[in-house]
Chain A
């Protein structure tokens, strides 16, 4: 494949997929270790009503109001979960289940009730995004990468997900020590004077930002998969957090690239002529990676587990 074809049609979707995968996998490492892995699942469900409400208010599919709507919905969801958990003394998993299903149902109902037939906003789109459509029409080859006119036409999803990735990296970099300590030994972190509650909340907020930005570009299914599969696979490879994070980034990148390539070109290799869903294929590849590490990973068993 030549640059004339690759740069406009495949480069930007691949980059968006890779950045979204890494932006979700980084906070995912901590969420998996803290046993909050399903937060990504919950967030990606609850943003739907926020996005629909933002659409109903503004009357257009534009990114920033929708991001704000999604963020608002996440805040409502967190407040609801906490309220149900505290007031009703319900275990957190069930409180989460009640909240995200009800909010998702409300989102679907709103969507069905409102007239969205003229715009591209539907449940399927929210679920598996439209990675393939994020093409860079102004590019005509590798030279466009240094051409300011062509660069101005970059899909704005790419710019948003890049900014998000920078925010996520900065958060993990700046709060590395407190994050690591409070994840492994919250009590010890507290005795050192760290405000672990605030830190935990900040982690959830960063995860929500990553989820919303990635959701906007690639749909919720990649978000959930990337929050959990690469970190979980990395967890089975090593005992050291630094190494685990490196592995998770590698797994996320491999899933994004391989998933995109297989989805786009795999069917042609076996003689079919239609591409399959890239988002679904990226999730599938990350699952295959997790399966491989679960069977062969060097650190796959619990330490101290009986040898069978």
Chain B
């Protein structure tokens, strides 16, 4: 069943929803990247909650005009209008009053959502006997979706994706360095509006699939995930698009395979799984990488200190140090140095002395700045410089590096 869904074999609607969710995932991942880099990720939360009264009002207006209240393009248009209003209010509150952006976001989010709930209860009493099904917009529902609705979503997702790809360069510039962007003649305010507008488009298209409460996850989780894998803006956007697309595709497919899997939460949980895997496994920024770095560093410190202790004839009680030395064949289990161990220890002690000279000499200021107690002196100074230092140290010459 799941395989059928992944292979797009579960009928036209499921296929269209899956394709739409994939497009939507890619578009939201890329758009979210710019929001995330602008540090305005949570603005999308206000935008998405602000869609609800628009949906309700659009329904009421369409019914009053004698049409079918469930017309999806009409509902989406209404949601876009109220989301725009919410976005403008967040901007206005942040700019013109002393309220910080988080308070403005929270206020718009809760008030619009509350008013939307009021409208939903009005609609429930209005169309008594006729299930409006607007609750589906809260958490997304693709079950029983009309063919035309699925087409709207697929086309909307594709159009949003196209718009995102068109504007990606200026948006990346503004997200990464607004001052430079302004100096290069870009209108930062306008680009910001485009970013927000695209976030709104993603929200509106995603309403039916993911639902307004969880759509914000599609804008936030993929970029945060992508950030683990790279430090380059364009790569972050590309990877975020990939993560979003994969979660949309797999999530929609899983949810199509069984009735008790709601689409929105599944898509979000798939992307959160990818996020969790990245958090643990990503090179450089991941937890595992950090752990490995830590253990390696610890071993280097223990090794170094162990060698210095051997060289100075001090006994080693620390178990990890002893184990490391023994495994490297530098010491026996009772802590006595082997032949190679003695040679390496002498070298370590000599290096320590060399560093001492380097650090006390103004001439080697640059090299001395690199001293951290672990760095091999050969990686910093040339052979000539080292032998010059050795000449200054003098002393026994027979103990050399193996």
Contacts and interface: CB of A to CB of B under 8 A. Distances in A.
Interface of A: 32, 35-38, 40-41, 45, 84, 87-91, 93-98, 101-102, 104-106, 108-109, 112-113, 123-124, 127-128, 221-222, 224-225, 227-229, 231-232, 235-236, 263, 267, 272-277, 279-284, 286-287, 290, 294, 297, 299-303, 305
A87 B287 contact: yes
Nearest to B108: A287
Contacts of B217: 97-98, 101-102, 105
Interface stretch (B187-195, B221-229, B319-327, B354-362): B221-229
A151 to B, nearest CB: 31
Contact of A88 (B116, B118, B139, B228): B228
B102 A38 contact: yes
Interface in B102-157: 102-103, 105-107, 109-118, 120-122, 124-125, 135, 138-139
A227 B117 CA distance: 18
Contact of A109 (B115, B224, B261): B261
B96 interface: yes
Given A38-B45, A108-B265, A302-B97, 13 more contacts: A38-B106, A41-B106, A87-B290, A88-B228, A88-B285, A90-B224, A95-B224, A105-B214, A112-B265, A123-B138, A283-B110, A284-B118, A290-B107
Interface in B196-233: 213-214, 216-217, 220-221, 223-224, 227-228
22 contacts: A35-B102, A35-B103, A87-B279, A91-B41, A94-B223, A102-B268, A105-B265, A108-B214, A124-B135, A224-B113, A227-B106, A228-B106, A231-B103, A232-B107, A235-B103, A274-B121, A283-B115, A284-B114, A286-B111, A286-B114, A287-B110, A301-B97
A232 to B, nearest CB: 5
A240 B121 CA distance: 39
Which of A38, A280, A301 gathers most chain B CB within 10 Å?
Answer: A280
A300 B98 CA distance: 6
Nearest to B42: A93
B260 interface: yes
A73 to B, nearest CB: 15
Which of B117, B139, B227 gathers most chain A CB within 10 Å?
Answer: B117
A276 to B, nearest CB: 4
Given A112-B260, A287-B115, A37 B98 contact: no
A276 B98 contact: no
A277 B120 contact: yes
Given A37-B102, A88-B228, A272-B125, A97 B110 contact: no
B262 interface: yes
Nearest to B43: A93
Nearest to A273: B125
Contacts of B120: 277, 280
Contacts of A299: 98
Given A97-B42, A101-B221, A105-B264, A221 B113 contact: yes
B100 interface: yes
B25 to A, nearest CB: 14
A300 B52 CA distance: 28
Nearest to B276: A102
Nearest to A305: B98
Shortest Cβ-Cβ A-B pairs, 5 listed: A283-B114, A287-B111, A280-B117, A274-B125, A101-B217
A236 B285 contact: no
Nearest to A101: B217
B275 interface: yes
A37 B272 contact: no
A277 B42 contact: no
A260 to B, nearest CB: 12
B266 interface: yes
Contact of A98 (B100, B117, B262, B275): B275
Contact of A280 (B96, B121, B290): B121
B99 interface: yes
B34 interface: no
B39 A93 contact: yes
Contacts of B112: 287
Contacts of A294: 93, 96-97, 99
A286 to B, nearest CB: 7
Nearest to B267: A105
A222 B272 CA distance: 28
A280 B261 contact: no
A94 B36 CA distance: 7
Which of A89, A284, A301 gathers most chain B CB within 10 Å?
Answer: A284
B277 interface: no
A247 to B, nearest CB: 14
B162 interface: no
Given A94-B224, A106-B269, A229-B107, A41 B262 contact: no
B117 A277 contact: yes
B100 A35 contact: yes
B244 to A, nearest CB: 13
Contacts of A297: 97
A76 to B, nearest CB: 14
